[in-house]
Amino acid sequence: MSKVDIPGYTYGTAAVPQSWLTLAELEELKKSVLFGDDDVAALRESLPHLSPLVDEILDVWYGFVGGNSHLVATFGRKSDGQPDEAYLAAVRKRFGQWILDTAQANYDQRWLDYQMEIGRRHHTTSKNRTDGVAAADVVPLRHLIALIVPITFTLRPFLEKSGKPRVAVDRMHQAWVKSVTMQTALWASAYVKRSDY
């Protein structure tokens, strides 16, 4: 899979600083979200089913954000408050790749480092910089955490399209809930003092 054609997608490159967390601390975080080898397998099981549906999934997520003025506000231009369509489009490409990366579940040092970068891109630290836009300064932390729910709830029907038995859909869905919650916990690092994190 070629990834180099996604602007700003720096996963695995030297442009990404090392994470605050060690891999041992990542293992602790996995324990906190009950994430084990069976979840890695379940995420990878979801990959071939979700891959052809990435655009449909993004349509649902973008529809949700677009339908909530307090959420689409983070894409709002400082000049006139209107959503920056080019910014929305640039993020969408990386968001689609994020679905694939989450399902591939190679949660190693490079992945850990890139999660911290994703966090910074939601925070004033480096929001807007990747895409060269002048939009809202920050994705408020409370909504970043809240979005665990719509992201995972709306994914379930796409997992059901796999035609797999309910127990398999449950397994894939639970692995997704664990991973998205864990990633949100990683992204939150950009918002707090290291000693509080």
For the bound state, the minimum distance from the C-beta of residue 70 to its own copies, rounded and expressed in Å, comes to 4
Radius of gyration of the chain (CA): 17
Span interacting with its own copies, options 7-15, 21-29, 50-58, 92-100, rule CB under 8 A: 21-29
Interface with its own copies (CB under 8 A), residue from 6, 29, 41, 54: 29
- Beta carbon nearer to its own copies, 1 or 194: 194
Contact of 33 with 178, CB cutoff 8 Å: yes
b/e burial code for range 41-57 (CB count within 10 A of at least 16 → b): ebbebbeebbeebbeeb
- Beta carbon nearer to its own copies, 29 or 118: 29
Which 156-195 positions form the footprint of its own copies (CB under 8 A)?
Answer: 174, 177-178, 181-182, 184-186, 188-189, 191-192, 195
76 lines the binding site for its own copies (CB under 8 A): no
For the bound state, the minimum distance from the C-beta of residue 167 to its own copies, rounded and expressed in Å, comes to 13
For the bound state, the minimum distance from the C-beta of residue 4 to its own copies, rounded and expressed in Å, comes to 31
Contact of 61 with 150, CB cutoff 8 Å: yes
Helices (H), the chain: 23-32, 37-50, 54-66, 69-72, 85-104, 109-122, 141-146, 148-160, 166-187
Which residues here bind its own copies, judged by CB under 8 A? 21, 28-29, 31-34, 68, 70-71, 123-124, 137-138, 140-143, 145-150, 153, 174, 177-178, 181-182, 184-186, 188-189, 191-192, 195-197
